[in-house]
Amino acid sequence: MDQSVAIQETLEKEENCLICEVVSHSITESILLGLVESSKEHAIFIYTHRRMAITADDVSLEDIVPVSLDFAVVEISSPEELAVVGADTRVRVSYQEEALELRLPFGSHSRLFLSEVNRAWSDACKSPTHVPTFEWINKYHKANKGPGVVKQALGTTFTKLNQHRKTGLSGARSPPAQNEWQRSGEMSEPLRDSEKSDQKGSSEREIGSNSGTQKSRVCPSPESQAISRDDLVHASSHTTSNKAQILTMPQFNLRDNLIRCELLKNEDLYTYRENFSLFLGTYNVNGQTPKESLSPWLSCTLDPPDMYCVGFQELDLSKEAFFFNDTPKELEWTKAVSKGLHPDAKYALVKLVRLVGIMLIFYVKKEHAEFISEVEAETVGTGIMGRMGNKGAVAIRFHFHNSSICVVNSHLAAHIEEYERRNQDYKDICSRLQFRQLEPTQTPLTIMKHDVVLWIGDLNYRISDLDVSNVKELISKKDFETLHSYDQLKRQIDEEAVFVGFVEGEIDFQPTYKYDTGSDKWDTSEKCRVPAWCDRVLWRGKNIKQQHYQSHMALKASDHKPVSSMLEIGIKRVNSEAYKKTFEEIVRNIDKMENECIPSVTLSKQEFHFKDVKFMQHQAETLSLLNDGQVPCQFEFIQKPNEYTYCKPWLTANPPKGFIAQGGSVDIDLEVFVNRSTAPELNSGKEQIEDILVLHLERGKDYFIPLTGNYLPSCYGSSIRSLCHLRDPIQEIPQETLRDLAESSGDENAVTVEKPLDIPKELWMMVDHLFRNAIKQEDIFQQPGLRSEFAEIRDCLDTGMPDSLPGSNHSVAEALLLFLDALPQPVVPYSFYQLCLEGCSNASQCEKVISMLPRCHQNVFNYISAFLRELLKNSANNRLDVSILATIFASLLLKSPQKQDLAEKRKTQEFFQHFLTQGSS
């Protein structure tokens, strides 16, 4: 998930976060690094954060490191670390007399981050006579409590640079060398793992420099060339012909892209299949700690698997883990897995990824480790408002030899009736989970763009249309075939609602949920859950055979039973001689091309119109480009004069740049999506759905593509004051009236024709609906609703039809949270934020601040607080408490105008808690 958006929200308009990187610091905290550019000067901003950074509220700026002549970044990984596939990269960032050691997670994103830092550093070193002023960062130092905050906040050891110089660091201030590529069709391969491990002495050297590098073989020429390690961090290529290296090196030009395209097209000429075994395991541990050996589950096969992918759900059920991505149980379960692996083989841990309680661990036999490359991990939360990762997925993708594999571990929505919500979770995961590629011109990889996709987890699909007694009777008869016909997942797959193209093996084991913890007895609680196969393993791809699919009744720690599947997968391996011949033939053909030809494309449409655009409703049109020229071409949407980006913020082109082979074509999705940032000006009419895209061809001409559309105003993204002055639905109000209201929104004394409403009618409709229908609803404000139902609720509020709100209680609850989140000025206006922090510990002072708010804002605050107090009176049913409600609503009602550190976040919660306790006015 790209967290640079959160950093961007803390910056001024003329400042731009180019790229960010998450750096693990401890179990309870991690660091977020952002490379920020302003006026051609660069600095690394260091933030702390305790949960997935989605908005500025989630991060806290701790320090800033200017990228200048006094800056250096040096890799300090040991030779032993370099030899481990999947190991983190240790670097030292230094400025003047201080240094900070960081551990960057393994993957292409870290390499891309280091590459961007190198570029910024190189630019600073190119003009040593020009001394940058960095005046733009002074305001941040004033906002913080002085320099050096990182030392105290993170407990990081800073050391004098001259101490490092004594240990052999030399030339730390010299600019990084730029990568040079051979242009004769020759491409280099990275160091083999064996070559890395043979290196002696310190591996400390500058990222991006040529110092400390070795020679590696070049294909097809026998000549060798020095390789810069930041291009090859853990790339783990292992034959001169490995496509994983050849096809994903950064900074490809047109020629390289064509070679890559032709190699992919002719892959069958130089690859062959070899079978490898992969063990898949999934276990919902219900927040328990590992109390028993996992060997009966993980070592259940006679022969040791070549690879393991082990997934967990509900690793930690504590409230702290629910709202923040922190848990000590990660280490406990990782150790238990390591001890439970098959004893007849030695394994290397390649990657671990976790989102709250959803965790995926990837192990490989040590003899296969060198053939693993391009390892990436991503997460996506499908919890309420996309913030909470109690539901969602984690995924790891990698190359093994020449095959691409993606493994997904997901935990979908609970409750027997919520199968549509589970379907939506699946679709959200498929669309939102994307892996960044090394080559920027390539679009991010989605789950389905892999040779093999393996999907495991607590999918939570249940048994429908049978009561518990009938289910248990079929289980006692071991009539799993009949029982499976009532399985929701099977029915949804048969209807092609989810998992299209996936395969699941025959289920000949009893349901894995729900048991009394510590036993094999079915649920004896008051709810008496109907047994179900919640825990599943599915796959998608060719040349896959399942060796077994079973549950493991011996493990009793949880209310679920773990499930395992052993797959035999035909992996593509490279024949070196065949590859070399194919490669040389491609290069010869390219040399015959007449590169003087001017590239050209034909556009499928010359202009686009988006009709009836709505808040948070995605619309897309497809622009097809056909390369009708005589040569391949590269395209890119470019910025117009005096504009920061190539398009308006509500528009994206996917992909924004790319490569088209001769005679080939590419489809570009032009997507419109209005969110809380862009809605206010569209609602008021200050901004229109209008833009012109400039499509540029390298060495060719530019094409101008106009886009138009109409936006339907919404209460979402409209101010409280404006809505209080609207007695009719917003879409019945003339645009001029909405514009006038927006322009006078800051003037409380503006003359109005009639008395305004006490609170917006839209807010009243949602709260009233919840008060009448959801006061005892279990997990209200903690379980997401359906997106289709949110659309119906939004349309009802904006048009007045129908008279009552549609949708489930959870959908209405989430619609209320989205309404508050989209307000241009929060319920407690920004100008009162500091007063709230100063008086947060004094109840009477807090009430005094609220009494000072504009009347409509004050009414809304008191109305929401009174409703939440009513919810708390029914906490035995809805499972809410003051802490949960304060955490959710304080971040929506009291927003920081700039940034919000953890201490401020806690103060806002303390402030709001005064209004949630019994007896508060």
Q: Which pLDDT score, from 0 to 100, does residue 714 have?
A: 97
- Greatest mean pLDDT range, 125-129, 547-551, 589-593, 651-655: 547-551
Fold agreement (4-205, 602-711): no
Q: Which pLDDT score, from 0 to 100, does residue 280 have?
A: 98
Angle between helices 882-893 and 809-821 (to 10 degrees): 40
CB 395 within 8 A of CB 406: yes
Least confident of 109-113, 183-187, 844-848: 183-187
Helix (H, G, I), strand (E, B) or coil at 663: coil
Helix (H, G, I), strand (E, B) or coil at 229: helix
CB-count burial class (<10 Å; 0-12, 13-18, 19+) for 354: buried
Alpha carbons 81 and 635: distance in angstroms, whole number:
40
pLDDT digits (tens, 9 = 90+) for 700-734: 889 999 999 999 999 999 999 999 999 999 999 99
Q: Which pLDDT score, from 0 to 100, does residue 590 have?
A: 73
Q: And the tokens for 481?
A: 């075939």
Predicted confidence band of residue 759 (pLDDT cuts 50, 70, 90):
very high
Average pLDDT over residues 810-829: 96
pLDDT digits (tens, 9 = 90+) for 556-578: 999 999 999 999 999 999 998 99
Query: By percentage, how much of the chain surpasses pLDDT 70?
Result: 80
DSSP 8-state code for residue 319: H
862: β partners: none
Average pLDDT over residues 343-365: 94
Distance of CA 431 to the CA centre of its chain: 11
Instruction: Answer yes or no: is pLDDT of 838 > 90.
Output: yes
265: β partners: none
Average pLDDT over residues 484-502: 97
Three-class DSSP labels, 28-45? CCEEEEEEEEECCEEEEE
Average pLDDT over residues 229-246: 30
Average pLDDT over residues 83-92: 69
Please state the domain extents for the chain.
4-205, 242-460+537-576, 602-711, 762-916
| Whole-Å CA distances, 520 to 423, 476, 564, 688 | 30, 13, 18, 62
Q: Which pLDDT score, from 0 to 100, does residue 319 have?
A: 67
Q: Which pLDDT score, from 0 to 100, does residue 180 have?
A: 26
Alpha carbons 579 and 427: distance in angstroms, whole number:
38
Q: Which pLDDT score, from 0 to 100, does residue 368 have?
A: 94
Q: Which pLDDT score, from 0 to 100, does residue 434 have?
A: 92
Alpha carbons 713 and 739: distance in angstroms, whole number:
11
CB 343 within 8 A of CB 299: yes
Within 10 A of 585 (CB to CB), how many other CB atoms are there? 13
Instruction: Answer yes or no: is pLDDT of 229 > 90.
Output: no
Least confident of 30-44, 813-827, 837-851: 30-44
Q: Which pLDDT score, from 0 to 100, does residue 223 have?
A: 30
Alpha carbons 912 and 848: distance in angstroms, whole number:
13
Cis peptide preceding 132, ω within 30 of 0: no
DSSP 8-state code for residue 370: G
Instruction: Answer yes or no: is pLDDT of 335 > 90.
Output: yes
Average pLDDT over residues 478-503: 97
Within 10 A of 366 (CB to CB), how many other CB atoms are there? 13
Alpha carbons 586 and 580: distance in angstroms, whole number:
10
Task: Give 249's Cβ-side CA count (13 Å radius).
Answer: 26
CB 70 within 8 A of CB 62: no
Gap between the terminal Cα atoms of the chain: 41
Distance of CA 51 to the CA centre of its chain: 12
Q: Which residue has the higher pLDDT, 113 or 442?
A: 113
Least confident of 114-128, 693-707, 777-791: 114-128
Instruction: Answer yes or no: is pLDDT of 802 > 50.
Output: yes
> What mean pLDDT value characterizes the chain?
82
Predicted confidence band of residue 593 (pLDDT cuts 50, 70, 90):
low
CB 250 within 8 A of CB 260: no
Predicted confidence band of residue 443 (pLDDT cuts 50, 70, 90):
confident
What CATH number is given for 762-916 in this structure? 1.10.555.10
367 Cβ contact list (under 8 Å, min separation 6): none
279 Cβ contact list (under 8 Å, min separation 6): 298, 301, 305, 307, 308, 309, 310, 564, 565, 566
Angle between helices 761-773 and 809-821 (to 10 degrees): 150
- The domain defined by 602-711 folds into Immunoglobulin-like (2.60.40)
* Cα-based torsion angle of the residue sequence 152, 155, 161, 166 in order, rounded to the nearest 10 degrees: 150
Three-class DSSP labels, 384-448? HHHCCCCCEEEEEEEEECCEEEEEEEEECCCCCCCHHHHHHHHHHHHHHCEECCCCCCCCCEECC
Average pLDDT over residues 126-148: 71
Q: Which residue has the higher pLDDT, 51 or 880?
A: 880
Question: Is CATH 2.40.50.140 correct for 242-460+537-576?
Answer: no
Stated as kind and residue range, the H or E segment containing 795 is helix 787-799
Q: Which pLDDT score, from 0 to 100, does residue 79 have?
A: 64
Q: Which pLDDT score, from 0 to 100, does residue 629 have?
A: 87
Predicted confidence band of residue 766 (pLDDT cuts 50, 70, 90):
very high
451 Cβ contact list (under 8 Å, min separation 6): 403, 404, 405, 541, 542, 572
493 Cβ contact list (under 8 Å, min separation 6): 499, 500, 502, 504
Alpha carbons 745 and 737: distance in angstroms, whole number:
12
Average pLDDT over residues 271-283: 97
Q: Which residue has the higher pLDDT, 260 or 189?
A: 260
Least confident of 14-28, 97-111, 445-459, 498-512: 14-28
Q: Comparing C-alpha atoms, which of 571, 583, 698 is closest to residue 262?
A: 583
CB 646 within 8 A of CB 656: yes
Q: And the tokens for 214?
A: 């070795």
Average pLDDT over residues 183-195: 30
Q: Which pLDDT score, from 0 to 100, does residue 847 have?
A: 94
Q: And the tokens for 438?
A: 């090394």
What CATH number is given for 4-205 in this structure? 2.30.29.110
> Residues of 2-14 as b/e, b for ≥16 C-beta within 10 angstroms?
ebbebbebbbeee
pLDDT digits (tens, 9 = 90+) for 23-38: 755 444 568 899 999 8
pLDDT digits (tens, 9 = 90+) for 594-604: 455 788 999 99
Residue given tokens 């920020």 in the structure block: 36
Instruction: Answer yes or no: is pLDDT of 18 > 50.
Output: yes
Tell me the chain's radius of gyration from C-alpha atoms.
29
Average pLDDT over residues 797-820: 93
Stated as kind and residue range, the H or E segment containing 208 is none
Instruction: Answer yes or no: is pLDDT of 234 > 80.
Output: no
Q: And the tokens for 810?
A: 């959870």
CB 379 within 8 A of CB 429: no
